[in-house]
Structure 1
Amino acid sequence: MVSTLDLRITATLVLLIYASVLDLRSREINRLAWQSMTGLGLILLIVDLAASKSLALLITAAIILGIAVVFAVSIHYLGLMGGGDAKLLIGLGAMFPTLPPGTYVLPAFFLTVFSNAIIVSLLVPIAFFLRNLGELRGVRSARDFLRLFIAYQKDSKDLGKFETVLDEGQLFINAREVELGETEDTGRIWATPALPFVVFLTLGFIISVLHGDLIAFIF
């Protein structure tokens, strides 16, 4: 008999892959992914509660979902994530009120998925730095050096539709205010891409299911 955990994992993976395809195509995801994840998670919770009649499970689920909502809203309004990405964290909080089998450091599964996604995404700045090795001779400050990890130079006319211009001295892009594919600058610019974070979230989810927290293996 298929367990509710198997259903949670399978449904979440399908929805994350669907959201990843949308993110790659347009850097936007619709409501279907996170709403389906949240709704199905709550339905499966009812099934588990009916079978176990566990008050502790209900309380745990309510706490985890509450933390997921606060966390997702906070990182979105801080400009660290887009709204669609943040809402997927709420969906993960609803879908996994308890930790699946594995090695965990963090207390909630959605936090494990998020932290694993962040760790995997660190490969991107490393790739940028390797691409920018030829720019080291132009480094004059710590800001110049840090910029090598988050952007790359190109001609303004070649700015892609999923790229934005990094202004002089700027090191942070607000996810809520970013304008993609637009610039009034001419000549050489520093461009940084809008990364399809849902792809990293999907990879983080797969790693979480198979191994648990990467933090536990790194540290």
Structure 2
Amino acid sequence: MDQIQMVFTARVLIVGMGLLAGSVMDIRTRRIKDSVWMLMMFSGLPLLGFEMWLKGGDSSWISLLSLLLPLMGFLFVLFGYPEPGEVLRGSAADISFLVIYSACIIGSVLGFVRGDPALTYPVAFSSLFMLIYFGLYHVPVGGTRIIHGGADLKCLLVLAALFPWYGSDLPFALGPFYRILSGNTLLAWIFPIHLSVLFNGAFITTVLLLVILPVMNLIRGDLAFPRIFTSYRTDVRGMNGKHVWVYVERNGKREKVEPTRKLESRLLGEGTKRVWVTPKIPFIFSLFLGFMVQMTAGNLVALIFLAI
């Protein structure tokens, strides 16, 4: 194993462990501490920079400045932007972030203009995807968002920042498709690692739900279509605290709401004993599975598409 492969493998292991830790938190509480993403970012980004230096030699140091752009995007989502009014009032925090963001912008521009395009273009492309993910987080769809949770967004931002390109063959890769993507420039641009992880996670989650929920509902005799594929029925008593959305009637419309003691008491008072609920998917766990599949076998969706 050469140095570049070792550095890439180390980055994969760091991100894998971070996603595993995030998955445990997501399954237990559906909340993930920002420290998980910060640890992944600030331990993985230096390794990415070291890999860039190994690929470009001594002259590649200026290309490293391009990494300031994804770093700034990550910090922006975590901490927001400096308020002009607070800056004028002398707020130390806002002034500090103004200086940091300004330095990131100037440094990244210098890196893109003077750096090696073979190294900086993929970083710019990943930064564009970070912007797209941020936009999708704010696009409403059916009472939710395309990228639903803040943790999902932060996870995708970290993946995009740390994996602007495919590495060499991993020692634990099991399937040929990772090699196909890493060796084909066009496919690597169409299916960057972070997007492949998202596709894998969404595909695995969809398949599992389409198998588990219908089977469970069929066994219980709950055959309301098409809800049989997305929801299940549960007792009203004791539903408070479960990681689900509850479907209730409001002003003649069916809406999904959080289960609360107040809602539980109201439904019991109305004589409702069981309700349809939709499970809140611990999508970080889905992304963890998608990441593991990506690094061992490749992009499941693209593999199926190319096989047809």
- Indicate the TM-score class for this superposition, using the shorter chain for normalisation: 0.7 to 0.9
For 1:190 and 1:157, locate their aligned partners in 2 and report how far apart those are by CA, in whole Å.
13
Unaligned runs of 5+ in 2: 61-115, 170-177, 182-186
Query: RMSD of the alignment, in Å?
Result: 2.3
Which of 131, 146, 150 aligns to 2:226? It is: 146
Contact 1:93/1:110 (8 A) holds in 2: yes
Deviates more, 1:204-213 or 1:162-171: 162-171
Flag the structure with larger Rg: 2
Partner of 1:74: 136
For 2:117 and 2:230, locate their aligned partners in 1 and report how far apart those are by CA, in whole Å.
47
Give the AA of the match of 1:128.
L
CA, structure 1 residues 115+160, in 2 after alignment: closer, same or farther (shift >3 Å)? farther
Q: Which has the higher contact order (CA 8 A, sep 6+)?
A: 1
For 1:167 and 1:99, locate their aligned partners in 2 and report how far apart those are by CA, in whole Å.
46
Unaligned runs of 5+ in 1: 140-144
Partner of 1:90: 157
Q: CA deviation at 1:218?
A: 2.0
How many residues were matched structurally?
A: 207
For 1:12 and 1:181, locate their aligned partners in 2 and report how far apart those are by CA, in whole Å.
35
For 2:150 and 2:36, locate their aligned partners in 1 and report how far apart those are by CA, in whole Å.
13
Q: CA deviation at 1:28?
A: 0.5
For 2:138 and 2:260, locate their aligned partners in 1 and report how far apart those are by CA, in whole Å.
22
For 1:198 and 1:160, locate their aligned partners in 2 and report how far apart those are by CA, in whole Å.
23
Which of 98, 101, 113 aligns to 2:197? It is: 113
Partner of 2:286: 200
Q: Deviations for 1:55-103, whole angstroms, at most 9, x for unmatched residues? A: 3212211221231232244135532321011110000011111023414
Q: Deviations for 1:134-175, whole angstroms, at most 9, x for unmatched residues? A: 222xx4xxxxx121111111221131521220235758x6xx
Deviates more, 1:40-49 or 1:120-129: 40-49
Summarize the alignment of residues 133-172 of structure 1 with structure 2, pairs less than 5 Å apart.
133=218, 134-136=221-223, 139=224, 145-161=225-241, 162-167=243-248, 170=254
Contact 2:22/2:284 (8 A) holds in 1: yes
Which of 26, 33, 37 aligns to 2:40? It is: 37
Partner of 1:142: none
CA, structure 1 residues 97+68, in 2 after alignment: closer, same or farther (shift >3 Å)? same
Give the TM-score of the pair, scaled to structure 2.
Answer: 0.61
Q: Decide which structure has greater helix share.
A: 2
Identity %: 29
Give the AA of the match of 2:162.
M
Give the TM-score of the pair, scaled to structure 1.
Answer: 0.84
Which of 106, 120, 131 aligns to 1:58? It is: 120
Summarize the alignment of residues 13-32 of structure 1 with structure 2, pairs less than 5 Å apart.
13-32=16-35
Give the AA of the match of 2:214.
F
For 2:132 and 2:259, locate their aligned partners in 1 and report how far apart those are by CA, in whole Å.
28
Q: CA deviation at 1:41?
A: 3.4
Contact 2:8/2:48 (8 A) holds in 1: no
